[in-house]
Chain A
């Protein structure tokens, strides 16, 4: 990349980037705190993560204008790791997540994204929205009507304030007003301070204090792998959205690598693994940001606010944060998929639902993606394993021609064999494969089987119309699966 390009990405839109960066920083704070609480760690862990990731990604990311930080998808994956093994293991897992993502980027695995069908991605975001919503329900337990009233007030401000002005993020206005109400009203409801500590200092470099053993690796590896995959899925989806919103292209492999570097740095500075944020990136672009500077400003300004105002932040009532999170979950959910579910092909709808159900049952987005991808593979195999067979009788009944149309592979051979009548009393059978393609050794095995069965009735079999690739395959493995051989 040349200097001109770098200059454009950094300083091509200074005013827009600085202003949108500030707006994003304000919107990031409540989310970073809330995601920390979901993960079961101190708010500082999420705030440090958002600071480190936003700053590092501004330099090494592949998609200028995209905002990354601590996210709900990642927080949900680390809950059991934190609960069972503690914070230090989370830092180690974060570093390992980064290393895995760097490898994904180096080996250009961003292209693997295309194996994740869109119905799985829709299921992914819907499941994420549902989990973010249900994770807030615990804050309502044992609370009085005041809690419900304040959450309602938060939501009302968030959705109605933009009618007055869009210059200040409405979530920030909601949090300030509801915090003020809670402080002056003295309701004795829970605040951020009741759920964790907030230290007003910059993050420092630290090496996770864990035993460096194979056992440790075995504990963190499954978490890191899930985090790496989910992080990249959400990041690349977000990158595509920002590409579309700004009508520009971006380097997906560089972005994977950048996400990895950001997570490695974050792990060493006491932050939790994160990824790109759809909501924040949309806010950034809408507020006029599209350069690398916007992400840098967002990270730095966030840290400045925490150092300057940390004392106030701990007094934010949980009601305000729960309200913000409910808004986040409503914004994350893909409502169009509910409206159009009856229009979708039934298999697509099933894949989407299975993805959602698996995630909600296991609280693990990576398992949902896996289930969704597997199910859509099965559906795909089922769809293309339909083989059409036309029978033509020739030479006054002495010869029969089978015209075969379709993909011949392990899933379709039974269907094919069922459609051929082996008890026919004919001298010769021609199998016309001009409109078929042989894919694997099951296909070759099926051809051998057809030949064998007809030979038992003294019927000669000829294959015609094999395409080059199929011919090559037949030559390579043909006859091997036949007991007698040629």
Chain B
């Protein structure tokens, strides 16, 4: 039932916990996981500014998803990591809907009220617009 699982991550501690849930799901249904990390415009600017060249930048981005990768590495689930560019919400939605996914696993991140008011909640947007079931990890 849940063969193809998309795990959205922002590299935070919280999203490592989401990875645990995705793994459990994949193990139960003998599925595979695609990890998606989205780089938005602001992050792009910061990353380019703080890294000497493309190679270093790529390495540091890989390091951001290292936590999730380690958890996956310990399990026996087949996985791949994909770094995409754009606004997190719409990019995850487009990627999910254009691919063949059975479930999206995403963390509800701990933004404060002001940030939520201005930025909106990515998990909320994703839950509203993707066409497959969504598991929001609290």
Contacts and interface: CB of A to CB of B under 8 A. Distances in A.
Question: Do these two chains interact?
Answer: yes
Interface of A: 114, 117-118, 121-122, 125, 159-160, 162-163, 237, 240-241, 244-247, 278, 282, 285-286, 334, 336-337
Q: Which 7 A-B pairs have the closest CB atoms?
A: A282-B41, A245-B44, A244-B44, A240-B48, A241-B48, A336-B46, A241-B45
B137 interface: no
A286 B87 contact: yes
A240 B50 CA distance: 12
A122 B53 CA distance: 15
B52 to A, nearest CB: 6
A371 B49 CA distance: 18
Contacts of A163: 117-118, 120
B47 A121 contact: no
Interface of B: 39, 41-42, 44-53, 57, 85-87, 117-118, 120
B117 A122 contact: no
B57 A244 contact: yes
B85 A244 contact: yes
Contacts of A244: 39, 44, 47-48, 57, 85
- Specify which of B49, B85, B87 lies most central, judged by the most chain A CB atoms within 10 Å of its CB: B49
Given A160-B118, A163-B118, A334 B49 contact: yes
A447 to B, nearest CB: 34
A262 B8 CA distance: 42
Contact of A278 (B45, B47, B52, B118): B45
Contacts of A245: 39, 41, 44, 85
Nearest to B84: A247
Contacts, number: 51
6 contacts: A114-B52, A118-B49, A118-B50, A244-B44, A278-B45, A282-B44
A212 to B, nearest CB: 41
A73 B137 CA distance: 44
A246 B50 contact: no
B121 to A, nearest CB: 12
Contacts of B39: 244-245
Contacts of A286: 41, 86-87
A122 B47 contact: no
B7 to A, nearest CB: 21
Nearest to A286: B41
Contacts of B52: 114, 117-118
Nearest to A288: B86
Contacts of B41: 245, 282, 285-286
Nearest to A247: B85
A236 to B, nearest CB: 10
Contacts of A285: 41
Contacts of A336: 46, 50
Contact of B49 (A121, A159, A247, A282): A121
Contacts of B86: 286
A159 B45 contact: no
Contacts of A246: 85
A237 B118 contact: no
Nearest to B118: A159
Nearest to B87: A286
A241 B44 contact: yes
Contacts of B87: 286
Given A244-B57, A286-B41, A125 B118 contact: no
A125 B85 contact: no
Contacts of B120: 163
Given A163-B118, A163-B120, A244-B57, A122 B50 contact: yes
A160 B118 CA distance: 6
Contacts of A278: 45
Contacts of A159: 118
A282 B51 CA distance: 18
The residue in B48, B50, B86 that gathers the most chain A C-beta atoms within 10 A of its C-beta is B48
B50 A282 contact: no
Nearest to B83: A247
Given A244-B57, A245-B41, A282-B42, 9 more contacts: A114-B53, A163-B118, A241-B44, A245-B39, A245-B44, A245-B85, A247-B85, A282-B41, A337-B50
Contacts of B47: 244
Given A159-B118, A244-B39, A246-B85, A125 B49 contact: yes
B49 A122 contact: yes
Nearest to A332: B45
Nearest to B53: A114
B5 to A, nearest CB: 24
A125 B46 CA distance: 11
Contacts of A118: 49-52
A14 B39 CA distance: 24
A114 B53 CA distance: 9
Contacts of B51: 118
Nearest to B46: A336
Given A118-B50, A244-B57, A244-B85, A282 B118 contact: no
Nearest to A249: B54
Contacts of B118: 159-160, 162-163
A113 to B, nearest CB: 11
Nearest to B117: A163
B58 to A, nearest CB: 10
A396 B82 CA distance: 64
